[in-house]
Structure 1
Amino acid sequence: MVAARNLIADPFRPSGMWRRTWPLGVLLLATACGAIDAGGTACTAIGTRTGVSVDVEHPGVVSGTIEVCWDDFCATPGLELYPSSRVVGTTCTGASPDDSCSARSEPTEGKHGFADLPQLPVKPVTATLKLLDQSGSALVDRNIALTPEMVYPNGPDCPAGGPQAGISVGADGSITER
């Protein structure tokens, strides 16, 4: 009879997956709460990635590396490139906030990625971007001056989230700062 009693679930005792995930739920609940500044603006605790984004239109690019330097310091964060897409059609059932909208997307021939750099400063840096084809040959190998800027995920009336910079690579291999 003791074995049978142990099979009955106690609703107040976490078990199985709940026991492993409840700390995550508490953490998410705590971080989802925001603050209201003195002006009455609600500021959430949304996170912001700090680093350099890369958008590539150059055909044939399959991978890349980036090195970012400032002062006497250089960092080489990981840069994984993913297929890009674009919105090609939208529909909405109306114009009121309760109405719904949808968007249809299609893949492009481009790629995008983000190099996380938690220590990225808000001052000019130099980036060396290398983009490679399937055989490992360099299609693009260029230096570019970047000026990271603070990002405000909740708008300018809330605290900054961290600095970001961006690089765009055209189909012809041209590079511009975004």
Structure 2
Amino acid sequence: MVLAAFLAAILVVPVGAVDAAPARAQVFRAGDVTAVIAPDGHEITVNLGSGSLATDAASNTLTVFDGKGRVSEVVPLGAVTADVAADQKSAVLSGAPAVRHPVSRAKDKAYADMMMKLNRNWPCAAPSVIAGGIIGFLVGFFLILGWVLATPIGLGIGAFVGYSNCGHGETIRAIQKWIGTP
């Protein structure tokens, strides 16, 4: 179970920034299992301290045996290929590079700019957001609208008012730029 969770975390969690490979190999350890991610991120070398590894081409799985030869784990490989070493103590897992969402650099830059301005102006905008949420809750509580619907509306109005007044509206313009960037 440790190996399956380990591989899932390594294969799912991105390492490095957009369009950048990690500068050096990264090493992860869990119990007696060590995994090394290659600098290009396309290969993972798994080493077992005790036990052995075997692949089953028919079911496309990697089987982990404990020190007594019993099956400890069976890891489905999917699109990943596993090359087990002759000593059956290590395997090199490789696969196609992760598919990146086709977001333009301009959209990435607009998003980073928007988040920077949201964070920078939050201390100024927070009272308006909180007041909008409270007013929305009270209006919804005392009227037929219902607080579940009115509170988010009040929060949104409070955020718009707060961020419009803070930083001379730079945050609202950054949000509009991010939405409008292809």
TM-score by length of 1: 0.21
**Quick one: higher RCO (CA 8 Å, sep 6+), 1 or 2?**
1
Rg larger for:
2
Higher helix proportion: 2
More strand by share: 1
Q: What is the TM-score normalised by the length of structure 2?
A: 0.21
